[in-house]
Amino acid sequence: MRRISVLGATGSIGQNTLDLVARAPGEFDVVALTGGRNVARLAEDARRLGAEIAVTAHEDLLEDLRAALAGSGVEAAAGQGALVEAASRPADWVMSAIVGAAGLAPGLAALGQGATLALANKESMVCAGPLVMATAQRHGARVLPVDSEHSAVFQALVGEDMAAVERVIITASGGAFRDWPLERLAHATPAEAATHPNWDMGQRITIDSASMFNKALEVIETKEFFGMPPERIEVVIHPESLIHALVGFADGALMAHVGPPDMRHAIGYALNWPERRALPVARLDLAAIGQMTFRAPDLARYPALRLARDVMAAGGLSGAAFNAAKECALDGFLAGRIGFTGMAGVVEEVLDRVCARLGHNDAAMDLDKVLAADHLARHEAERVMTERAA
Ligand code: NAD
Ligand code: MG
């Protein structure tokens, strides 16, 4: 039996992961499941799957979690330290599906005990790609991509020589507002931004899809994951979300990964890797689909893509600052403090203020430095939003 843990088990990726685990009875031994405020869901899944331990990120919910697990034999724990401790428990495979920079420390802990890390938490790569890769290497651990685009690239690269790769193209649906007139965007509400045309995902990534901050994070993730030079990473809008990414080779060939917009494909690929096994995802009927369309992204509509280029050029800790500023700006948008189009403005201003102060040296990157850059950027983002409201 393979020992597995799921960090962020109560979220969209976490629940899809547990769906696949539950479909393979007797194959997996569940070590740790972690979640946030939804302790009822967490406890129910931990009981059902016979987990060793369930952890909520919130210390004030420890008693609720204990009560929900009473008599089950599942251990209960709470707080950031407990998350890291749970991730450090010996396991063969750990899903990293916490949302935001909060996923970094538990993911590093999982790599530290040698587990294969299935990485949905793209923020880990954006904030600290060199640190994640170095930690994996030091402990003989592997990182497998779960973001659909990166899983697609990973699959297109099987058996290929990286030296023959000319470019990587990741696709973007364009999000909720791809066809809105630009002048309407300033007044878009969180509820409107949280409706994705093709994918069913958590609230934060869905809004990041509408602003394309998600794609901006993914471009940086592509650079870090595959060591691709930024100028060889392209983004194309593909409203149907059927091709997830393409790899272009020196001979002009493009290898595309095509599949239904169902995250259980990328999760299942990482779960079964290096094998391929049957997965409960829809099979595409290409004749019924009829056509797939593509267009270039409009940088006026999606300034986040331009910011991603600046961040890759700056390197080092600027990714941590970028992600943190983006998380704060998203909180500000959700709280009604800034408008939809204000998010990119806040992030850009934070980068202007902090990047020069951060310094950058990938080799010297450690968790403390990444967290310090994250805190500095959050602090500046607060100031920028307060100044703008005044
Ligand atoms: P979600 O909001 O649905 O779930 C997030 C999970 O993290 C929940 O279990 C929540 O309790 C937990 N969590 C939230 N804040 C936390 C904190 N501060 N500390 C500890 N735990 C915390 O998110 P999601 O859509 O499942 O996304 C998870 C990750 O996967 C994100 O990094 C996202 O970018 C990435 N991802 C998601 C999808 C998707 O289809 N949903 C696709 C590609 C990548
Ligand atoms: Mg993606």
CA distance 387 to 269: 46
Q: Is residue 59 part of a domain?
A: yes
Same domain, 126 and 208: no
Q: Is the pLDDT of residue 45 over 90?
A: yes
The answer to whether the CB of 208 is under 6 A from ligand 1 is no
CA distance 352 to 338: 19
Q: Is residue 309 part of a domain?
A: no
CA–centroid distance, residue 218 to ligand 1 (Å): 15
Q: Write out the residue range of the structural domain in which residue 169 sits.
A: 148-260+281-300
Weakest-pLDDT range from 23-32, 48-57, 196-205, 343-352: 196-205
For the chain, percent of residues with pLDDT exceeding 90: 95
Among 195, 151, 190, 200, smallest CA distance to 171 is for 151
The answer to whether the CB of 263 is under 6 A from ligand 1 is yes
Q: Which residue has the tokens 């509400």?
A: 189
Q: Is residue 274 part of a domain?
A: no
Give the ligand whose atoms come closest to the C-alpha of residue 54.
1
Same domain, 153 and 296: yes
Predicted confidence band of residue 95 (pLDDT cuts 50, 70, 90):
very high
- Mean pLDDT of all residues belonging to the chain: 97
Write the CATH number for 367: 1.10.1740.10
Decide which of 145, 168, 184 is a domain's last residue. 145
CA distance 151 to 154: 5
CA–centroid distance, residue 108 to ligand 1 (Å): 16
Q: Is residue 305 part of a domain?
A: no
Q: Is residue 276 part of a domain?
A: no
Task: With beta carbons less than 8 A apart as the criterion, state whether 98 and 123 touch.
Answer: no
218: exposed, middle or buried (C-beta count within 10 Å: 0-12, 13-18, 19+)? buried
- The side-by-side arrangement of strands in the sheet containing 243-249 is 233-237, 165-172, 243-249, 254-258
Count up the domains in the chain and report the number: 3
Same domain, 140 and 50: yes
CA distance 146 to 154: 10
Task: With beta carbons less than 8 A apart as the criterion, state whether 113 and 136 touch.
Answer: no
Same domain, 132 and 156: no
Nearest 10 degrees: Cα torsion 373, 374, 379, 385: 120
Q: Is residue 306 part of a domain?
A: no
The answer to whether the CB of 370 is under 6 A from ligand 1 is no
For the segment 289-313, what is each residue's pLDDT rounded down to a tens digit? 999 999 999 999 999 999 999 999 9
Q: Which residue has the tokens 């690239």?
A: 153
For the segment 123-138, what is each residue's pLDDT rounded down to a tens digit? 999 999 999 999 999 9
Decide which of 117, 145, 173 is a domain's last residue. 145
pLDDT of residue 361: 67
Q: Is the pLDDT of residue 363 over 90?
A: no
What angle do helix axes 62-69 and 39-49 make, rounded to 10 degrees?
40
The answer to whether the CB of 110 is under 6 A from ligand 1 is no
CA–centroid distance, residue 146 to ligand 2 (Å): 8
The ligand 1 atom nearest the CA atom of 202: 25
Pocket residue to mutate for ligand 1, from 205, 213, 267, most atoms within 8 A of Cβ: 205
CA–centroid distance, residue 103 to ligand 1 (Å): 9
Q: Is residue 10 part of a domain?
A: yes
Ligand 1 atom 17: residue of nearest CA = 102
For the segment 265-282, what is each residue's pLDDT rounded down to a tens digit? 999 999 999 999 999 999
The ligand 1 atom nearest the CA atom of 263: 40
CA–centroid distance, residue 86 to ligand 2 (Å): 26
CA–centroid distance, residue 151 to ligand 2 (Å): 9
pLDDT of residue 362: 72
Write the CATH number for 68: 3.40.50.720
Among 73, 76, 52, smallest CA distance to 64 is for 76
Same domain, 199 and 132: no
Task: With beta carbons less than 8 A apart as the criterion, state whether 244 and 262 touch.
Answer: no
pLDDT of residue 356: 81
The ligand 1 atom nearest the CA atom of 204: 2
Q: Is the pLDDT of residue 360 over 70?
A: no
pLDDT of residue 264: 98
Same domain, 192 and 114: no
For the segment 218-251, what is each residue's pLDDT rounded down to a tens digit? 999 999 999 999 999 999 999 999 999 999 999 9
Same domain, 36 and 140: yes
Same domain, 152 and 71: no
Same domain, 118 and 32: yes
Decide which of 245, 270, 300 is a domain's last residue. 300
Same domain, 70 and 200: no
Q: Is residue 275 part of a domain?
A: no
Report, as an integer, the average pLDDT of 62-75.
Answer: 98
Same domain, 129 and 216: no
Same domain, 80 and 98: yes
pLDDT of residue 284: 98
